[in-house]
Amino acid sequence: MFPELVTRPDLKVFLPPIGGMTLYFFGDVSQLGKPETKVACRVHDECNGSDVFGSDICTCRPYLAHGIEVCIEMAQQGGVGLVVYNRKEGRALGEVTKFLVYNARKRQVGGDRAETYFARTECIAGVQDMRFQELMPDVFHWLGIKRIDRWASMSNMKHGALTAQGIEVVEQVAIPDALIPADARVEIDAKVAAGYFTSYSPPGAEELALAKGRGLHE
Ligand SMILES: [Zn+2]
């Protein structure tokens, strides 16, 4: 689809138009690219149900709002904040697939629980995730960002992709506990158990087996 990837060796950075993205800046963007400029950032993958409609099954909307706060704080301190909003709905599997997964989670025997969180996606979609994080850091190369001082994300896959490409992440900022909706405990437990960044010890097997999500008829 993108012949430039192999036909244009002169290009040091290529932003493939996969899914699309919007960049929201906070503060003076002309300061970007200078080594002394502190940068705060959230790379947010679209979640329409939560971001727009306020669903409480995941942490997307509260984490995005927290990320915006972190960006504004950085701008107020003279740095630059950046929200990268990627159109990668439902782990790039799409919204319909996501709703099928939610449906399966709520109807499964034993209730909605962290231990089956990734398996429910895989049994619907065939994969746990369709996002390709190795291309995600390209936008930072394009902007000349080599260091992110405050990184509002818990994703170990995004963090790994950044550091593998030489972008330093100074401080990783987890979503504050108080902002996690009760129904989103399933998601956050499953992700932390799978290697997501956290400031507390990951939940054990017994904890993961507890049905913490809202029941079908609740
Ligand atoms: Zn979400």
In order along its 218 residues, the chain shows pLDDT tens digits of 778 878 988 988 776 665 589 999 999 999 998 999 999 999 999 999 999 999 999 999 999 999 999 999 999 999 999 999 999 999 989 999 999 999 999 999 999 999 998 999 999 999 988 888 998 999 999 899 999 999 999 999 999 999 999 999 999 999 999 999 999 999 989 999 888 888 778 888 888 988 888 888 88
Distance 11 CA to ligand 1 centre (A): 35
Contact 45, 88 (CB under 8 A): yes
Output the CA 146–ligand 1 centroid distance in Å.
28
CA distances from 151 to 66, 98, 120, 140, 163 (A): 11, 26, 29, 13, 12
φ, ψ dihedrals at 8, nearest 5°? -125, 70
Q: Return the pLDDT at 196.
A: 86
pLDDT at 16: 64
- The answer to whether 176 touches 217, Cβ cutoff 8 Å, is no
Based on the residue annotation, tell me whether 107 is a catalytic residue of this protein: no
Euclidean distance between CA atoms 101 and 68, whole angstroms:
28
pTM above 0.85, yes or no: yes
Ligand 1 centre from 108 Cα, in Å?
20
> How far is C-alpha 6 from the geometric centre of its chain's CA atoms?
29
